[in-house]
Chains A and B, each alone.
Chain A
Amino acid sequence: MEVSLASLVQPASSLMVVGLNHHTTPVELREQLAFSDGALDASLPRLVDTETIREGAILSTCNRVEVVAHTPALEAANEKICAFLAEEQRVALPHFAPYLYTHIDQEAVSHLFRVASSLDSLVVGEPQILGQVKDAYNVSSALGTLGTVLHRCFHKSFSVAKRVRTETSIAAKAVSVSSAAVDLACTIFDRLEDKTAMVIGVGEMGEQAVRHLRGRGIGTIMVTNRTFRRAVELARTCNGTVVPFDQLDKHLHLTDVVIGSASSPHYILHSGMVEEALEERKRSPMFLIDLGVPRNFDPRLNNLDNVFLYDIDDLEQVVEDNRGERQVEAVKAEAIVAEEVEKFWRWFVNQEVTPTIVALREQAEMIRSREVEKTLAGLVELSPQAKESIEALTRSLTNKLLHPPLAYLKRRHHNSAKREAEYTQEIASPHVIRQIFGLDAHEE
């Protein structure tokens, strides 16, 4: 009975996330506040103590610096974290205070889950963040700054991220023009390992596309450019071979993917050239990616059989469509997060509140029995019946006295489900109740 009541009320301690991220904070400031790899080992133990911050972890990436804490005293913990950041990173508090956000309890859990699932990332769905969260967990775990609550919270965040990844396709959508192009290449070609790409021109977009192709394991890369020297530079960075610009047409039949990123007033590829190349390569499909503005490839090339031409506008459109689909997937992902936050919170409240209620009852019983004992010691002549009556009277007194606070907690639960905001404004939190009844003092 008490356990189920306990699960309905607020715990005596809180979870919080204090930090700043790419949404609000300029990169210069994030750089100053970020912890370098080894720095956490020295800093983190200074954050955690028994009074204000029982458990703590720091997630520091190029996009965010966040402190996750489990604390019995919110206000003090918040101050301590701010002071900690200022001190450790030697940045004056007023400099970064306006950018800080604080998430408390369910919001904090939700935030951590969303971050791990890459819902809060600059590029939503990017996979690196989960690894970074795991690193943050491992570091603080090794330093011993985690307890039961944060251990579980982090582990949950990993499994939430996994659910989001497998049950939604949020991570499967390309969000940049160059990655969209590579995605398309994969719908044309079975695999890229045995394919050859040629990049014409040394524009930045082309370079990005080449890097993506390399990342997906394309076999060979050829680079050609009007200025030979710059082609050599790009070829070196992407581990490709250089083709002299005037021999472009002689190499065209060897290439499966052609990327145009040259600045040229005329079309570089025409139907005639491509037609010849196709003939020579037995009509194996060719994927032409035109990233140049003005365009490098004749748009009519798309009409050729087995030739697929995408220019920058087409790719932008693909990215745009992906964003639209991503929105739909994001809704699904948020639902998963909400569900898991609810589950975690039930567990947290349960393990936190049960002791409060037990302590309250135990304390009342202790006072009652001690006082009854004292009183009865001076009244030796009393009949057993009268003694029994006194026992009953005191029991009834303590029960009646305890009833309002317990009923109050119960009522607060019912309100909390519907009116979270009002709830936080009420004065008497369970924490206050603990203080009023001196429960913590007694425990010591």
Chain B
Amino acid sequence: MEVWLLTLTLLLYLLSTASFIVGLFSVRPVVRTVAPSCLLAACVCHASAITVRSLTVGYFAVTDVYEALSFLACLTAAMGLLVQWRLPVSILGAIVSPIGFILTLGVYVFYTQARALPPTLQSAWLPIHVTAAYLGYAVFVVAFSASLVYLVQEKQLKQKKASSFLRRLPSLETLDHLNYRSLAWGFLLLTLGLLSGAVWAGYAWEHFWIWEPRLILSVLTWVFYALLLHYRSAGWRGRRAATLTIACFAALVVSFVGVQFFPGRHGGQFG
């Protein structure tokens, strides 16, 4: 059931990616409703897969690589959908759909059979800590996407290539605004994730902090985002802010993937 749902999810992400790309070049209004519908279907399907897994194992299924990737993919797609529902940035769908697709492919690679929850993770803090941190990551994907599109749009405008493609992208102001807002929200969620982690650690390990590569990398990333946000509030915007957002996101990805190579006490396989 779970694998079957995941396969369907994968197909829907692919379909959604294709329809968003067609939507970038087509003026037919029908495409613009089909693509978000595909993405919505993919999200619902994905959430069902996670629910099925959670019901099978009997806890919130976010504790190993497979489960974490799956959860992250679902949150990212949902976040993209949410934002493009509220703002005229359908291009976002064309970015989060393939991200969802690739992450879900990764889910296949790391697929594990259901297992019993390790005792160290048996805590009410697990869902709070993981959800806050991963929601933060998902929002940072949005910030990253907005910055990427900003750079493309800005470059075209500076080079005076006013193609029709340009006109289908959101305005620079919209993208910059989205960048700022998602940075702020992402930072807030990431902070919540770190704090809840610290509190949980205080209970479980009797220390709020231990010197461990995973934790150090996570806090470093947090510091990067804090600096970025600080400079943004001080008036950095446009291309500079977009470039730095992309750099910060790269740091996030590095820490996210890099920590997998360091063993440690930190519970899950990810983050």
Contacts and interface: CB of A to CB of B under 8 A. Distances in A.
A184 B157 contact: yes
A285 B160 contact: no
Given A168-B27, A190-B174, A302 B158 contact: yes
Interface in A293-331: 302, 305-306, 308, 310, 314, 317-318, 321-322, 325
A190 B171 contact: yes
Contact of B173 (A190, A318, A325): A190
Contacts of B153: 187
Contacts, number: 67
B240 interface: yes
B164 A169 contact: yes
Nearest to A174: B162
A188 interface: yes
Nearest to A170: B27
Interface size grouping (class) on chain B: 20 to 34
A325 B162 CA distance: 11
Interface in B223-265: 235-240
A436 to B, nearest CB: 51
Given A166-B29, A285-B172, A318-B162, A190 B167 contact: no
Interface string B128-167: 0000000000000000000000000100011010111011
A188 B166 CA distance: 11
A183 interface: yes
B238 A169 contact: no
B169 interface: yes
A189 B171 contact: yes
A190 B180 CA distance: 15
A282 interface: yes
B28 interface: yes
Q: What does DSSP make chain A's interface, helix, strand, loop or mixed? A: helix
A184 B172 CA distance: 11
Interface residues of A, number: 29
Nearest to B175: A190
Nearest to B235: A282
B237 A188 contact: no
Contact of B171 (A167, A172, A186, A322): A186
A180 interface: yes
Nearest to A180: B162
A190 B240 contact: no
Interface string A159-198: 0000000111100110000001001101111100000000
Contact of B167 (A183, A189, A282, A317): A183
A314 B238 CA distance: 22
A187 B167 CA distance: 6
A284 B236 CA distance: 9
B231 to A, nearest CB: 11
A282 B237 contact: yes
Nearest to B176: A285
A321 B238 contact: no
Contacts of B167: 172, 183, 187
Given A282-B235, A285-B238, A187 B166 contact: yes
Contacts of B238: 283, 285, 305-306
B266 interface: no
Given A283-B238, A285-B238, A306-B239, A318 B160 contact: yes
A285 to B, nearest CB: 6
Nearest to A311: B160
A188 to B, nearest CB: 5
Interface string A373-414: 000000000000000000000000000000000000000000
A44 B172 CA distance: 53
Nearest to B164: A325
Given A187-B157, A187-B171, A283-B235, 14 more contacts: A166-B27, A183-B162, A184-B157, A187-B166, A187-B169, A190-B173, A190-B177, A285-B173, A302-B158, A306-B237, A308-B157, A308-B158, A318-B160, A321-B163
The 7 closest A-B pairs by CB, nearest first: A190-B173, A282-B235, A306-B238, A318-B162, A314-B160, A169-B27, A190-B174
Interface of A: 166-169, 172-173, 180, 183-184, 186-190, 282-285, 302, 305-306, 308, 310, 314, 317-318, 321-322, 325
21 contacts: A166-B27, A168-B27, A172-B164, A172-B167, A187-B153, A187-B157, A187-B162, A187-B166, A187-B167, A187-B171, A187-B172, A188-B157, A188-B173, A189-B172, A282-B237, A285-B176, A302-B158, A305-B238, A308-B158, A321-B163, A325-B164
